[in-house]
Amino acid sequence: MTDLSAAQPLTNFAALFPGQGSQKIGMLAQLAADHPLVEQTFAQASDVLGYDSWALVQNGEQQQINLTERTQPLLLTASLAIWRLWLQRGGPMPTAVAGHSLGEWSALVAAGVVDFADAVNIVRQRGASMQRAVPVGEGAMAAIIGLEDDKIIAACADAQQSEVVAAVNFNAPGQVVIAGSAAAVERAIAACKEAGAKRALPLPVSAPFHTALMRPAAQELAELVEQTHFKAPKITVIHNVNADSQSDPATIKQLMLEQIYQPVQWVGCVQALAARGITEAIECGPGAVLSGMVKRIDRTIHCATTDQPESFAEALHNLAQSES
């Protein structure tokens, strides 16, 4: 693999890694047809997982890859297959990386903090632990569209009634995800609508991620994370919990455990990248979820998708032009 410490980063460029929800059957099929590295990366993940991960994402059923325990390693692998291909094809090195929720683990691998195989193992366990923390059906998540953050936070506080519900993903202005106990989320949806939300959309997820209900999952994962070797990042990583960077491996481990039950400050992460002079980014994974969020947060940053041969080639060409 490319020696990250030897490469000269492009100072206005960042790589972003998506989280759960971007997975789909058939993802990266066209890229893989042109570039063997994609399937090779999935083969490496398969050695860790004990099943044929490429066959599953190409020929399985959507409900199979939507199981959190499978979604997390499969999506991490897809994102890092694109990252490896970017480096193999001579793409410029970013000066910063960030990932949304699960995607933060992809960002850590890209930055040289944790080895790929170790990350696959961790996120498989992370997914399993998060699912075990709250039985299916007892938790829920919903996207609140068109309402100010402070009104959403207040609606959640009013809706708790001794249960858990909170704003957990600050994805873009006017786009916040809430999560918690199913009944409390229903009450919060009604309160948000009453406060003027344009829409409140229940999300098809199997657990209330990034809430206090996920603390048992963090506790369960702590031993594996502690046993895993983390290195100081060779590329700046902007973390979800505090929208800031960190260089100490022990502190990064703690942030990655807190991230399981703390809100994702994605708006803050993008703003932190802009403050560092980032004007170009690639979404290193399937889909265009992050590209859409970035556009809503800060239009000074142009974020390109990379999961199709045409979009990958275009992003590579444009970034190479700006590098020269």
Residue type at 290 in one-letter notation: L
Which pLDDT belongs to residue 8? Answer: 77
Q: Which residue has the tokens 């560092």?
A: 276
Q: For residue 323, what pLDDT is reported?
A: 67
- Show me where the domains of the chain are located: 9-133+213-323, 139-205
Ranges in the chain, pLDDT < 70: 1-7, 323-324
Instruction: Please name the residues in contact with 289: beta carbons below 8 A apart, sequence gap of 6 or more.
Output: 18, 21, 22, 100, 283
* pLDDT for position 87: 96
Burial of 299 (0-12, 13-18, 19+ CB in 10 A): exposed
Closest Cα to residue 77, out of 31, 43, 128, 114?
A: 43
CA angle 256, 262, 265 (to 5 degrees): 90
210 is catalytic: yes
Show contacts of 244-248: CB within 8 Å, 24+ apart.
Answer: 244/272, 245/96, 245/272
pLDDT, residue 89, reads 96
8 Å CB contact between 286 and 23: yes
Pick the catalytic residue from 101, 129, 181, 291.
101
Q: Which of 35, 100, 210, 239 is catalytic?
A: 210
Domain 9-133+213-323: which CATH class?
A: alpha beta
> With contact defined as beta carbons under 8 Å apart, do 109 and 119 qualify?
yes
Q: So what's the pLDDT on residue 137?
A: 85
Q: What is the pTM of this model?
A: 0.95
Residue 324 is predicted with a pLDDT of: 61
Is 245:236 a contact under the CB 8 Å cutoff? Answer: yes
Give the alpha-carbon dihedral of 145, 150, 152, 156, to 10 degrees. 170
| Residue 101 a catalytic site member | yes
Q: Is 139-205 CATH 3.30.70.250?
A: yes
Q: What are the residue ranges of helices labelled H in 50-166?
A: 53-59, 62-65, 68-88, 103-110, 116-133, 149-159
- The partner residues of 17 in beta bridges, in order of sequence, read 99
With CA atoms as reference, report the closest residue to 104 among 128, 133, 75, 130: 75
Rounded to 5 degrees, φ, ψ at 141 are -140, 155
Contact (Cβ atoms closer than 8 angstroms) between residue 97 and residue 235 = yes
Can you tell me the distance from the alpha carbon of 225 to that of 248, in angstroms, rounded to the nearest whole number? 14
